[in-house]
Amino acid sequence: MGERDYARDARVLIVGAGIGGLTAAIALRRRGARVDIVERAPTFAPLGAGITVQPNASAVLEALGVSLPEGDVCPIGHVAMIGADGRALVEGTIESAALPHPSLNIRRPDLQRALIEACGAPEVQRGRELVSLELDARAAKVTARFRDGADGRWDLVIGADGIHSAVRAALLGAPACAPRYAGQTCWRFVVEAPEHVPSTTIERWSPGRRAGVVPLSRGGVYVFLVESAPRGTPGPGSADIDRLRARFTGLDARLDPLLERLAEQPGARVHHGDLIDLPRLSFGRGRVVLIGDAAHAMTPNMGQGAAMAIEDAGALALLWGQVPLDQLALELDRRRRARVRELHRRSWRIGQVAHTRGPARRWLRDRLIRSLPQRALERGMHATWAPGVALARELRDRLEGSPRARSSANYR
């Protein structure tokens, strides 16, 4: 299948029905691909978490025609990073007049539902766990085999199956899949507490600890709690609500009533996991492409993990039909690596700085952060978002058939 004729005939298998996988399915279907989606989880059971959709991600979703219902989103608005002394380290409004795309908080199930609706038929095939891949260079096909004994052949396989990606493992081997532990463990939950929804999104830094309180739609609040800890802290009973309350009550006045409400909420669930990333970035090779966490899992300190998966999907759609299928992974790497690597590095560093040890070092850290001029902070936000917004603009032009559409990598 040549470069010019595969665009509307190629069969694509997407492994993973998370944010990146569904966005890729939407994007490639808009470009004419025949897409199948498989997901190893037998049912949809999202973690109790909220997610931030920053302007670079919202711009790409808008370009793809993904609609986020007004009742499902909450504008981020005012944000504050607060020190152990209760004073703001950094605060302001998350917006940019130069990049008129919204910054939103949304419940993960709501975002996933919007993506599924935009994706359309065929439906996600659930309970399909990939066990191996076989690349046949002569036939220009990839054979995927599943735990249930089924198999199939596709022109392209996209691994969008997260940090513990089976596609990555099958393609690159176990050493390339070894995660890096950040030295921090994290508890996450959503609580329904309309009377305690904050007007400001906060993150409170204390020695060896952080607490985030994030407003959501319909009276919900997303909470994340991070603590310096040895690797492997999660285990039986580590997400017990009473233990969590005993551990974190008193850290911040806005947190305490939410912990109390969590204990009263029927069916409340807390997710506890160590913070890890993948230090080796890979976008795949040949006819197997990796995107999102499967390619470059990063720590959540910038709220850009999902956004990078969304951008990857948009970039893949821009490349569709422009380069041979067996060159897609290489070209995606060329166009995305520098962009992703920088945010990957910054996110890791923010987490390490937040957990600085020693009172003298923390005092110096806080003083330096407070001394940053507002203009420097605004430039930093613009630098984070602008490449994604440029990608979205080019993607919209391409999908609309505009003569302004270009194949140049102006979104790097």
Look at residue 405 in the predicted model and tell me its pLDDT: 41
List the chain domain ranges.
11-46+108-179+278-355+383-400, 180-276
The SS3 assignment for 46 reads: coil
pLDDT attached to residue 408? 38
Question: Tokens standing for 252?
Answer: 């911040």
- Residue ranges in the chain whose pLDDT is less than 50: 1-3, 402-412
Q: Which of 377, 304, 394 is nearest to 341 (CA)?
A: 304
CATH architecture type of domain 180-276: 2-Layer Sandwich (3.30)
Q: How confident is the model at residue 6, as a pLDDT?
A: 80
Peptide bond into 122 cis (omega under 30): yes
Per residue in 96-150, pLDDT tens?
667 789 999 999 999 999 999 998 766 789 999 999 999 987 878 999 999 999 9
The CATH number given to 11-46+108-179+278-355+383-400 is: 3.50.50.60
Tell me if 289 sits within 8 A of 316, measured CB to CB.
yes
Tell me the backbone φ, ψ of residue 115, rounded to 5 degrees.
-70, -40
What pLDDT does 4 receive? 52
Do 11-46+108-179+278-355+383-400 and 180-276 share a fold? no
Strands 34-39 and 125-126: parallel
pLDDT of amino acid 402: 46
Closest CA to 133 of 31, 44, 43, 38: 38
Predicted local distance difference test score (pLDDT) of residue 248: 96
Q: What whole-number distance in Å separates Cα of residue 384 and Cα of residue 400?
A: 26
Length of the chain: 412
